[in-house]
Amino acid sequence: MTGVITLGRLEIRRALRNRRVMFFTILYPAMLFLLSASSVKGKNVPGTNIPYVDYFLVAYASFGVIAASMNNNAMRIAQERKEGWIRQLRLTALPSYGYVVSKIAASLLVVIPAIVITFALGTTQGVKLSAGEWVSSFLVIWLGSLAFTALGIAIGYGIPQDAVQPVTLIIYVGGSFLGGQFFNVSGALETVGKVLPTYWVREIATEVISKQPVSWGGVAILAGWVVACGLLAAFMYQKRAED
Amino acid sequence: MSMSNERLVGGPGVPAVSFEQVSKHYGSVQAVRELSLQLPQGRAIAFLGPNGAGKSTSMEILLGLKHASSGRVEVFGKTPRQAMMAGHVGAMLQSGGLPADVTVRELLRLMTKLHPKPLPVDEVLSRANVADLADRRAGKLSGGQTQRVRFAVAIAGDSDLIVLDEPTTGMDVENRQIFWNAMKGEAERGKTVLFATHYLEEADQIADQVVVINKGRLLANGSVADIKAMAGFQRIAFRLPGVTREQLLDLPHVVSLEVLHEHVQIQTSDSDKTFYALLDQGLRPMEIEISALGLEQAFVAITERDNGDAGAVEGSQSEDVR
Instruction: Judge whether residue A148 has pLDDT over 80.
Output: yes
DSSP track, A126-185:
T----HHHHHHHHHHHHHHHHHHHHHHHHHHHHS-HHHHHHHHHHHHHHHHHHHTSSS--
Which residue blocks in B3-120 are alpha helix, DSSP H? 55-62, 80-85, 104-113
pLDDT value of residue B271: 85
**CA A225, CA A219: separation in Å to the nearest integer?**
10
Tell me which chain B residues have a C-beta less than 8 angstroms from the C-beta of A12.
Answer: none
pLDDT of residue B309: 52
ipTM reported for the complex, 2 dp? 0.85
3-state DSSP assignment of residue B3: coil
- Asked if B262 and B242 count as a contact pair (C-beta separation under 8 A), the reply is yes
Residue with more model confidence, B96 or A104: A104
Q: Are strands B161-165 and B192-196 parallel, antiparallel or unpaired?
A: parallel
Q: State the burial class of residue B296 (Cβ atoms within 10 Å of its Cβ: 0-12, 13-18, 19+).
A: middle
**What confidence score (pLDDT) does residue A235 get?**
83
**What pLDDT, on the 0 to 100 scale, is given for residue A242?**
60
Alpha helices of chain B — where are they, by DSSP H? Answer: 55-62, 80-85, 104-113, 121-127, 143-155, 173-188, 200-206, 224-231, 245-248, 271-280, 295-306
Q: How far apart are the first and last CA of chain B?
A: 26
Whether A93 sits inside 8 A of B116 (CB atoms) is yes
- Measured in degrees and rounded to the nearest 5, phi and psi for residue A225 equal -65, -45
pTM above 0.90, yes or no: no
Q: Write the residue in A2, A14, A90 that is nearest to B102 by C-beta.
A: A14
Which residue in chain B is spatially nearest to A3 when comparing CA positions? B114
Closest by CA position to A87, among listed B82, B96, B115, B104: B96
Q: Do A88 and B96 touch (CB under 8 A)?
A: yes
How far separated are the first and last CA of chain A, in Å rounded?
24
Q: What is the mean pLDDT of each run of 10 residues along chain B (322 residues)?
A: 52 86 90 93 90 88 93 95 94 85 95 94 94 94 89 94 89 84 90 88 86 88 80 83 88 87 87 90 91 74 70 38 38
Q: What are the chain B neighbours of A13 within 8 Å (beta carbons)?
A: 106
Strand order in the sheet with B217-222: B89-92, B161-165, B192-196, B44-48, B209-214, B217-222
